[in-house]
Amino acid sequence: MRRITIVCGCAVVVSTAALAQMPQLDEVTTAQVMLDRAGFSPGEIDGRPGVNLRRALRAFQDASGLQATGELDHATWQRLSERMGPNPPLVPYTVVEGDVDGPFTPTIPRDLMEQATLKVLGYRTPLEALAEQFHVSPALLRRLNPQATFTRAGEPIHVPNVEVGTTGAPDVTIHVTAATSALTVEDGTGRVLFHAPVTSGSARDPLPVGHWKVTRVLVEPTFNFNPSLFWDADPRHAKVRIAPGPNNPVGTVWIDLTKEHYGLHGTPEPSRIGHTQSHGCVRLTNWDIQRVARWAAPGTPVIFR
């Protein structure tokens, strides 16, 4: 794998001294960061080639008028670099008190009945919180900062220079496509404003193809578990309420739809998005569903196809 040295005009954002101390990024990680910042999410930035990276590349290429191969060819690299501009893919960050103060939930049981006994389903550690903040796997964040403890305010680390926020547009349609395991936010002309990988249904619980609408957007939602809605629920389980938090079964955002019992939502397991099946709802990483929520409002069309 080629190595990419972060140079060439980046000093307008980061000092030369800071650049000299930064780790080098391989081209896969660099591409993942550039795609994320361009609004074509590869899911969790993990430094590994895979299906989510290929899907993001293909979507970016199609939106950019390039041949949609899903490969990181020269033309795609040039176009991504143009979108990135002078911004380096890796930047210094100083850990603040809010990153390490918690409250944290070190142990989260897998059993939903046991989860219902918790008052909050927070991050397990500051490392997990920081990784989610910068859309990166905890393992990669550790590799980028081998000397860091991730527990001390004032500690300097290096993090992916991910997407920093966009303004939602009023006239959009949200599309979820089962064949590509992808969600897109498109404007009235069909232009893709945002693309992200999703987990959307299974052979037992297929995506309910059709036209729906957003009814409400809930931030930090509780999860009201009803075992009668899940074919594989433990027969010993009962209806319970599971407290909010990023490790709640539906993550940090629930976008409710006119299709009863269905929604778009986050996840406590970002590494599994695009790789596993669900019970029918559309699952994204917490950071991607937060971005979708900028556009979603009551009445926003949602098309499952």
What one-character-per-residue DSSP string does 63-110 give?
Answer: HTTS---SS--HHHHHHHHHHHTT--SEEEEE--HHHHS----S---S
Residue 240: helix, strand or coil by DSSP?
strand
What does the angle CA 162 – CA 167 – CA 171 come to, to the nearest 5 degrees?
Answer: 130
CATH topology for 3-90 is Muramoyl-pentapeptide Carboxypeptidase; domain 1 (1.10.101)
Q: What is the pTM of this model?
A: 0.88
Distance from the Cα of residue 251 to its chain's centroid: 11
String of b and e for 75-89 (b: at least 16 CB within 10 Å)?
ebeebbeebbeebbb
- CATH 2.40.440.10 domain extents, the chain: 172-304
Burial (CB count <10 Å: 0-12, 13-18, 19+), residue 203? exposed
Tokens of 121: 């389903």
Tokens of 267: 């996840």
Q: What is the pLDDT along the chain (305 residues), one digit of tens a residue?
A: 333 333 222 333 444 444 456 678 899 999 999 999 999 999 999 999 999 999 999 999 999 999 999 999 999 999 999 999 999 999 999 999 999 998 999 999 999 989 999 999 999 999 999 999 999 999 999 999 999 999 999 999 999 999 756 666 678 999 999 999 999 999 999 999 999 999 986 666 789 999 999 999 999 999 988 766 665 666 777 688 999 999 999 999 999 999 988 999 999 999 999 876 555 689 999 999 999 999 999 999 999 99
Distance from the Cα of residue 126 to its chain's centroid: 18
CB 152 within 8 A of CB 100: yes
- CATH 1.10.101 domain extents, the chain: 3-90
Residues whose CB is less than 8 angstroms from the CB of residue 8 and which lie 6 or more positions away in sequence, other chains included: none
Helix H or strand E encompassing 157: strand 156-160
The superfamily in CATH containing domain 172-304 is L,D-transpeptidase catalytic domain-like (2.40.440.10)
Helix H or strand E encompassing 265: strand 263-265
